[in-house]
Chain A
Amino acid sequence: MQEMVRLERLTKRFGAVQAVDDVSFSVARGEVLGFLGPNGAGKSTTMRMLTGYILPTSGTARVAGFDVVQSPREAKRRIGYLPEGAPAYGDMTPLAFLRFVGAMRGLAGADLERRLREAIARTSLEEAALRPIDTLSKGFRRRVGLAQAILHDPPVLVLDEPTDGLDPNQKHEVRKLIKEMSSGKAIIVSTHILEEVDAVCDRAVIIARGRIVADARPEELRRRSPAHNAVRLTIDRAREEEATAALRAINAVREVRPLERVNGTATLLVLPVDGADLGAAVAGLLHERGIRVEHLTVEPGRLDEVFRALTASRPS
């Protein structure tokens, strides 16, 4: 895989505040990287350094081999950037705005017109193309920002919270668009919505207080969840205590937690030690004792738990 973006020890200090602290990662062509973190963790600051809007205090960022500080023009040419909040000139129509961005990027004539048509079609902006951006809905404005970012078909896309404030249908559209474009590009998507990571990302980098706390595939992250491979089962209420005691006796079981009791049934969560595979052992044991199981599911683990564990502020 061809490496398109490389951040090396990127650091940004605003006065006494360490906004981004020693951040390094790289993104290859064809990869969608989810950049996660709580608000204020340094996501936008990192993206702003990568796109050349602010200068790093130390460290480097390269786009297709071009250093964003040494050769900003070459680097910027290869990036499509959707800044946070999708800013655009409100007095212009999307068409005029896209034409301006295209001209700034050196597109002209038939080539510009073709790319304008393409970008407008890909972001479904046709019906809004001739209305002032100020009068458009949030969803349309976000799409104008996306159209502007993909206009010149850049090898690197940097999208700062592309689905923030959109309704579920619009979110779905944007994610579909990102997925469609992912094959030929290196894409960085910042978000604090975890479902987005599952929906579009091949890899997730989690940042907290300016530092990277995880860089892994979503499945790997999920494996770190205490609930990974936990077994959730529903049984007869009358036999709950017996089952609980028996399950606790299994070596690989860390904890048996009652979740709910409804209509004479009880639901238990059986948590494994170190994510061990419990499914077969639990089912076998209950079968042996003749306890009828109504439901049994193995939990894949939850990203939000991992996210919270990694980013929750702890005393330093």
Chain B
Amino acid sequence: MRAVATVFKRELAAYFTTPLAYVFIVIFLALAGAFAFFVGAFFERGQADLESFFVFHPWLYLFLVPAVAMRLWAEERRTGTIELLLTLPASTFEIVLGKFLAAWLFTGIALALTFPLWLTVNYLGEPDNGVILAAYLGSWAIAGAFIAIGACASALTKNQVIAFVLGAAICFLFLMSGVDLVLSAFRGWAPPWIVDLVASFSLITHFNELAKGVINAATAVYLATLVGVCLLVNTLIVDLEKAG
């Protein structure tokens, strides 16, 4: 646990020593606001809730979160610091976990900085703050799933651009597996249970529930499993490199 906390602190600090953190936060806030007001018609809907804000989050995350995750391992490989890191007395999983938590908390900080919107909606009306809190948690959980996927992609290469593209592509597949475009590709030949299985992988289906403030057990288990599996795969990728 000591190693997890140490890696976590270093990684989090590393975000803020480069312009990346500030660029990411500014762009995330600007886009999240722009989508909520202009595309989501925040005012025109005349409802005291934040659904028009949350509904765009998965799409924002699709290209912003892989950008946060891409440096986690690729940078270590490029500069050679991975050799130092992996010869310190810590297990690979502890390092994987520390890095994941740092990147996840970083997206959490960016998400928390959207609080003026929450103040606004409370000033304008009387929203259900329980629903808003649940939606915030749900949005953060989706970001966590994307971070875990992006970290795996980052472990595969020393090139951050490749890590970004690969991460975004895998996230896209997870996001889209619930839409008809993907499902119809399965419907023709696969038995219904496979179609249902593919649909149940869809982050968008789960997120639509979360955005309404509904947190059910299946969604929680699904997201926790997805993150857990990704962290294990990440550990495996790093360890396989060692076996050469």
Do A53 and B242 form a contact, CB below 8 Å, given A91-B17, A100-B6? yes
Nearest residue, chain A, Cβ from B85? A104
Q: Is A88 an interface residue (CB 8 A)?
A: yes
Nearest CB of chain B from residue A60's CB, rounded to whole Å: 16
One of B10, B79, B81, B87 near A52 (C-beta < 8 A): B87
Residue B217 at the chain A interface, CB threshold 8 Å: no
Q: Is B191 an interface residue (CB 8 A)?
A: no
B14, B18, B83, B87: the one contacting A79 at CB < 8 Å is B87
A112 nearest CB across to chain B (Å): 11
How far is A55 from B7 in the complex, measured between Cα atoms in Å?
A: 23
Say yes or no for B124: interface residue by CB 8 A criterion. no
Let me know if A88 and B84 touch, CB within 8 A.
yes
* Cα distance A54–B80 in the bound complex, in angstroms: 14
Query: Are the CB atoms of A100 and B87 closer together than 8 Å?
Result: no
Assess whether A14 is in contact with B244, with CB atoms less than 8 Å apart.
Answer: yes
CB <8 Å contact, A55 and B87: no
A89-B14, A91-B17 given as contacts; is B83 within 8 A of A48 (CB)? yes
B39 at the interface (CB under 8 A from A): no
Q: B88 contacts which of A74, A90, A92, A101 (Cβ < 8 Å)?
A: A101
What are the residues of chain A within 8 A of B84 when measuring CB–CB? 81, 83, 87-88, 101, 148
Residues in B whose Cβ lies below 8 Å from that of A84: 80
* Residues of the B chain whose Cβ atoms lie less than 8 Å from the Cβ of A185: none
Does A88 contact B242, Cβ atoms closer than 8 Å?
Answer: no
B243 lies within 8 A of A104 (CB): no
What are the interface flags for B55-73 relative to A under an 8 Å C-beta threshold, 1 for contact and 0 otherwise? 0000000000000000000
Encode contact with B along A92-107: 1 for CB under 8 Å, 0 otherwise: 1000100011011110
CB proximity of A304 to chain B, nearest CB, Å:
30
Say yes or no: A88 contacts B81, CB within 8 Å.
Answer: yes
Q: Chain B residues near A96 (CB, 8 Å)? A: 13
**Does the CB pair A103–B2 fall under 8 Å?**
yes
* Distance A127 CA – B83 CA, assembled complex (angstroms): 27
Nearest chain B residue, comparing its CB with the CB of A80: B87
Q: Is B79 a contact partner of A104 (Cβ separation < 8 A)?
A: no
> Which of A48, A87, A89, A106 contacts B89, CB < 8 Å?
A106
- Nearest CB in chain B to that of A79: its residue: B87
Contacting pair B2 A106 (CB below 8 A): yes
Is A76 part of the binding interface, using a Cβ–Cβ cutoff of 8 Å? yes
Question: Chain A residues with Cβ under 8 A from B83's Cβ?
Answer: 48, 53, 83, 87
Asked if residues A83 and B88 are in contact (CB atoms below 8 Å), the reply is no
One of B13, B14, B90, B244 near A55 (C-beta < 8 A): B244
Interface size class on chain B is 20 to 34
Asked if B89 contacts A76 (CB within 8 A), the reply is yes
Total residues of chain A contacting the partner, CB 8 A = 32
Q: Is B122 an interface residue (CB 8 A)?
A: no
The answer for the CA separation of A100 and B83 in the assembled complex, in Å, is: 15
Contacting pair B3 A52 (CB below 8 A)? no
- A91 and B88 form a contact (CB under 8 A): no
Q: Which residue of B lies closest to A12 (CB)?
A: B244
Given A76-B87, A148-B84, decide whether A87 and B79 contact each other with a Cβ distance below 8 A. Answer: yes
CA distance A176 to B136 in the complex (A): 59
Q: Are A104 and B3 in contact (CB under 8 A)?
A: yes
**Known contacts A54-B243, A91-B14; A103 and B6 CB within 8 A of each other:** yes
B47 at interface, CB cutoff 8 A: no
Q: How long is the Cα–Cα vector from A103 to B89 in the complex, in angstroms? A: 11
- Name the contact of B79 in the complex, choosing from A53, A77, A81, A90 (C-beta under 8 A): A90
Bound Cα distance from A38 to B135, whole angstroms = 61
> Within 8 Å of chain B (Cβ to Cβ): is A51?
yes
Distance in angstroms from A189 CB to nearest chain B CB is: 17
**Closest residue to B80 on the A side, CB-wise?**
A87
Task: Please indicate the chain B residues that have their CB under 8 angstroms from the CB of A72 in the complex.
Answer: 89
A73 touches B17 (CB 8 A): no
* Residues in chain B near residue A279, CB distance under 8 A: none
Report the Cα distance A101→B6, complex, angstroms: 9
Whether A218 sits at the interface, judged by CB under 8 Å, is no
Q: A-B pairs with the 4 shortest C-beta distances? A: A87-B80, A76-B89, A103-B6, A83-B83
- Chain B residues with CB under 8 Å of chain A are 2-3, 6-7, 9-10, 13-14, 17-18, 79-81, 83-84, 86-91, 242-244
Could you give 6 example pairs across A and B, Cβ below 8 Å? A74-B89, A83-B84, A87-B84, A92-B14, A100-B9, A106-B89
